[in-house]
């Protein structure tokens, strides 16, 4: 009997060798790696978006393309406001900086490669964000909001001052980049259809948007993300812990501005026109509304807020037209419904959609644990 028990409980040497091997340790470490998980999720998302772009109508493709300049900007703003606690009403102006940089660089006889143009536009926008962040590092609450509001109002007016370079009120027309022959041939072989310029722009925008989400998703769980949360929650405690408050705020503003720069690049090549009327205060407020609806500090909330901003208005407009309203009436109903949705979210889900769901889940889990311990 004892021999049988000993034989039963004796560990298998082969399994011990496998479990203790460096290869299994590396494999387990890779599976537990946050970066690997995020890369896998982004690749799955890219595959899903590709399938969606190939199956929907051209109008839906245009809407999916429109999402690609909202998502990076909203994601960057939710990092700034949700994680670091800085309220910005000037992100529309930062998008304008990148859009005008892109338009000017593309409007050359021999333009630079588009990848380099993206890097230049994002770098210039990040530099502007660093300057604004350094100036705003000493401001808090409504004072910071007022300073960034002045930025949102003032920057589009520069196009009128530098009319010869920036096109004045008429703006600058933009020639979007074209797909390389190899990529166009590959897509034609896979889908059986020629790749249109609109669809290529949507592919490009989603690749950039997912790259931004990948970088931010890893940044917010790093020590920088923890630092931003510490500054947001308690500045005194953060300073006593050795955190440089000004440096943390400026870094958050630079990261957020760079994300807005990606959105600015995409808005230029998708709308094919860069004009002051595109970057009014309404754009900055819309970005802020998106993070409030989705949930502050949540990248998933940034995506949900962007979806609502892009799809709600056309849906309400079409619904009003089907209900017998004329075009003007249907267009005026859309902002009303949008405002009602915002009020309802603030009343019923003050943490935003994602934040409220997460809070309800954690509350239920805590109640279950307390009940189990009794």
DSSP labels for 17-37? HHHHSHHHHHHHHHHH-HHHH
pLDDT band at 32 (very low <50, low <70, confident <90, very high): low
The average confidence (pLDDT) of the chain is 84
Low-confidence winner among 1-10, 22-31, 276-285 (lowest mean pLDDT): 1-10
Mean pLDDT across 184-210: 88
**For residue 96, is pLDDT > 60?**
yes
pLDDT at 16 over 70: no
Least Cα distance to 100 among 128, 131, 81, 76 occurs for 128
What is the Rg, in whole angstroms, of the alpha carbon atoms belonging to the chain? 25
Of 89-103, 138-152, 295-309, least confident by mean pLDDT is 138-152
Q: Which residue has the higher pLDDT, 322 or 211?
A: 211
User: For position 155, what pLDDT does the model report?
Assistant: 85
d(CA 283, CA 263): 12
Domain extent listing, the chain: 72-177+209-279, 282-374
Q: What is the rounded average pLDDT of the residues 287-303?
A: 90
Q: Say if residues 238 and 245 touch (Cβ distance below 8 Å).
A: yes
Place 14 in a pLDDT band, splitting at 50, 70 and 90: very low
Q: What is the pLDDT of residue 133?
A: 86
- Reply yes or no on whether the pLDDT at 5 is more than 60: no
- Ranking 76-90, 154-168, 236-250 by mean pLDDT, the lowest is 154-168
pLDDT surpassing 80 at residue 354: yes
pLDDT higher than 50, residue 20: no
pTM of the model: 0.86
Q: What is the DSSP string of 89-109?
A: S-HHHHHHHHHHHHHHHHSSS
Task: Give the closest residue to 88 by CA, choosing from 97, 80, 96.
Answer: 80
pLDDT above 90 (res 307): yes
Kindly report which listed range (27-36, 234-243, 250-259) carries the lowest average pLDDT score: 27-36
The reported pLDDT for the residue numbered 121 is 95
Q: What is the mean pLDDT of residues 33-58?
A: 87
For residue 47, is pLDDT > 70?
Answer: yes
**Confidence category of residue 101, pLDDT binned at 50, 70, 90:** very high
- Which of 13-22, 185-194, 204-213, 352-361 bottoms out in mean pLDDT, i.e. has the lowest? 13-22
Residue 10, pLDDT > 60, answer no
Instruction: Find the mean pLDDT for residues 45-64.
Output: 90
Among the residue ranges 143-147, 203-207, 308-312, the one predicted with the least confidence is 143-147
Interior/surface letters 253-286, b for 16+ CB within 10 angstroms, e for the rest: bbbbbbbbbbbbbbbbbbbebbbbebbbeebbeb
Which among 339, 333, 308 has a CA at the least distance from the CA of 318? 333
| Residue 237 or residue 34, greater confidence | 237
Stretch 292-305: mean pLDDT: 90
């Amino acid at each position: 009997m004892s021999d049988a028990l000993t034989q039963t409980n004796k560990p298998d040497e082969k399994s011990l060798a496998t479990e203790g091997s460096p290869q299994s340790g590396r494999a387990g470490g890779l599976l537990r790696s946050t970066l690997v998980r995020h890369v896998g999720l982004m690749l799955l998302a890219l595959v899903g978006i590709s399938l969606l772009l190939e199956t929907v109508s051209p109008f839906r493709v245009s809407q999916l393309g429109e999402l690609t300049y909202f998502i990076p900007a909203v994601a960057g703003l939710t990092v700034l406001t949700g994680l670091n606690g800085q309220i910005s009403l000037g992100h529309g102006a930062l998008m304008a900086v990148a859009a005008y940089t892109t338009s000017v660089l593309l409007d050359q006889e021999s333009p630079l490669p588009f990848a380099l143009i993206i890097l230049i536009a994002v770098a210039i926008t990040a530099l502007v964000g660093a300057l604004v962040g350094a100036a705003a590092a000493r401001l808090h609450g409504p004072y910071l909001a007022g300073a960034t509001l002045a930025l949102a109002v003032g920057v589009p007016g520069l196009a009128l001052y530098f009319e010869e370079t920036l096109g004045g009120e008429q703006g600058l027309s933009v020639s979007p980049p074209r797909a390389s022959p190899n990529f166009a041939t590959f897509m034609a072989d896979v889908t059986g259809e020629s790749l249109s310029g609109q669809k290529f722009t949507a592919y490009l925008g989603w690749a950039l948007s997912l790259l931004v989400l990948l970088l931010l998703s890893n940044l917010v769980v790093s020590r920088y993300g923890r630092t931003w949360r510490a500054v947001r929650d308690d500045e005194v405690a953060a300073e006593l812990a050795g955190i440089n408050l000004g440096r943390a705020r400026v870094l958050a503003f630079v990261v957020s501005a760079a994300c807005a720069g990606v959105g600015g690049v995409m808005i230029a090549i998708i709308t094919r026109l860069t004009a002051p009327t595109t970057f009014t205060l309404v754009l900055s407020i819309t970005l802020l509304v998106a993070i409030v609806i989705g949930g502050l500090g949540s990248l998933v909330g940034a995506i949900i807020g962007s979806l609502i901003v892009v799809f709600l208005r056309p849906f309400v407009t079409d619904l009003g037209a089907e209900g017998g309203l004329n075009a003007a009436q249907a267009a005026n109903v859309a902002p009303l419904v949008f405002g009602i949705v915002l009020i309802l979210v603030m009343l019923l889900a003050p943490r935003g959609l994602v934040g409220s769901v997460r809070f309800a889940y954690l509350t239920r889990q805590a109640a279950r644990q307390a009940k189990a311990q009794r």
